[in-house]
Amino acid sequence: MSMVDALGRVSEIQSTLVQLADPASRAKEASSPGPATSDFGQALASAVLSTTAAPASWGSGTSSVGAVTGDQVAATAQKYVGVPYLWGGTDPSKGLDCSGFVQRVYQDLGISLPRVVHDQMQAGTPVASLADAKPGDLLVSFGGEHVAIYLGNGKAIDAPVPGKTIQVRDAWEQYSNLTAIRRIVPDRAPSASAGFPSATLDATQTQYAKTIVHRVRARGLPAQAAVDAISTALQESSLRMYWNPKVGGSQALAPDQSAVGTDGYSVGLFQQQVNGSAFSWGTVADAMDPVKSTDMFLDRLTAIPGWQSLSIAAADQAVQRSAYPEAYAKWEGQARQIVSALSGTGA
């Protein structure tokens, strides 16, 4: 694409975004002066200095991304009211565009999101309709050209168009142009007293989950890596150590003889191939060992450039190269809850 074409595309998208405000709202804004410089300074100070949530950290044991709620997302987003729109902006001291704003809000809460709308609309899990939306959900419109954060009660917040500022307003997406709704954080964070979600996992699965979380922490990786690993293991093996009749020696290493897999030459928690092909993960013994297989997964995950900016599903697929790349997304919510609960118990 030439520079002229690129500038033309920018103008086209910016013109499209002008539709984000309804006619009455545009008329009102046109007759009102923009915010004074001091207003911007106050908004920036509020956004930068008042953000209380720290990035996800193993040290505190409670700041895992799974512990973030939609209400926290909504509250954090509103601290940026008054910051001006800037095309391509990611620095609130200068201005933010719609996806830069969304990325910044979630970053303040320790959650990594991709930079652009087309990637953000693949993150998290889908929400069926605006009637089902909850605070913190992403509202994607115009086929993936714009994104806002839903606040609840028919309200949303976004960085709208050049010349305007981040603002709270009626969620116009309920009328037209709604492309997708994505939920990044669980409906409800596990409470401190909730403990581990044992209702969904048995003792063996729980122990494997603890092993994964322990390895991530021991390697100094962020909690996101544990969510990647556990969501993959939930999809590939339901957090069980599978052996495979086609893989010699795997049965003798299996603690549960009933956990039998037949997919290619895959074994273990992550269904890692061990037949010596181009996708081989290593030895049978390594793939059937929860610590070594977790390390092999983490080695490949962290070797992906920018892995922390990928959605959980995209990162899992980049590691696993599955024939069903969309399958990982459905496990993200449960994986976040598991990691959050284990972090809270100091595991």
pLDDT at residue 26 greater than cutoff 70: no
Give the DSSP per-residue string, 313-342.
HHHHHHHH--S-GGGGGGGHHHHHHHHHHH
274: left (phi over 0), alpha (psi -120 to 50) or beta: alpha
**Cα–Cα distance for residue pair 274/265, rounded to 1 Å:** 6
Check if the beta carbon of residue 230 is closer than 8 Å to that of residue 335. Answer: yes
Rounded Cα–Cα distance for residues 232 and 293 (Å): 12
3-state secondary structure of 273: strand
Distance CA 43, CA 235 (A): 43
Contact of 47 with 89, CB cutoff 8 Å: no
Q: How far is the CA of 77 from the CAs of 41, 102, 151, 181, in angstroms?
A: 16, 8, 9, 17
pLDDT at 67: 63
**DSSP code of 85?**
B
What is the rounded distance in angstroms from the CA atom of residue 278 to the CA atom of residue 324? 19
- 293 contacts 239 by C-beta, under 8 angstroms: no
pLDDT band at 16 (very low <50, low <70, confident <90, very high): very low
- Listed residue (233, 197, 237, 236) closest to 215, CA to CA: 233
Q: What is the tens place of the pLDDT at every residue in 141-153?
A: 988 999 999 998 8
Dump pLDDT digits (tens) for 130-142: 888 899 999 999 8
Most confident of 4-8, 227-231, 261-265: 227-231
Contact 128, 182 (CB under 8 A): no
Q: What are phi and psi of 219, to 5 degrees?
A: -90, 0
d(C-alpha 273, C-alpha 298), whole Å: 16
- Reduce the DSSP state of residue 86 to 3 states and report it: coil
Percent of the chain's residues with pLDDT above 70: 73
By three-state DSSP, how is residue 183 classified? strand
Helix, coil or strand: residue 72: helix
pLDDT digits (tens, 9 = 90+) for 260-312: 887 788 899 999 988 755 457 889 999 999 999 999 999 999 999 999 999 98
- The three state secondary structure string of 235-264 is HHHCCCCCECCCCCCCHHHCCCCCCECCCC
CB atoms within 10 A of CB 194: 13
**Residue 13 confidence class, pLDDT cut points 50, 70, 90:** very low
What is the mean pLDDT of the segment spanning 179-196?
A: 63
**Sheet bearing 125-126, strands edge to edge:** 125-126, 178-183, 138-141, 146-152, 155-158, 167-170
> Do 288 and 241 form a contact (C-beta atoms < 8 A)?
yes
> Hey, what's the torsion of the CAs at 220, 225, 231, 233, to 10 degrees?
-50
Distance from first CA to last CA of the chain, Å, rounded?
Answer: 51
Supply the pLDDT for residue 322. 78
Statement: the pTM of the whole predicted model exceeds 0.75: no
pLDDT tens by residue, 60-115: 333 344 467 888 899 999 999 999 999 999 999 999 999 999 999 999 888 889 99
Q: Which two tokens stand for residue 60?
A: 């505190």
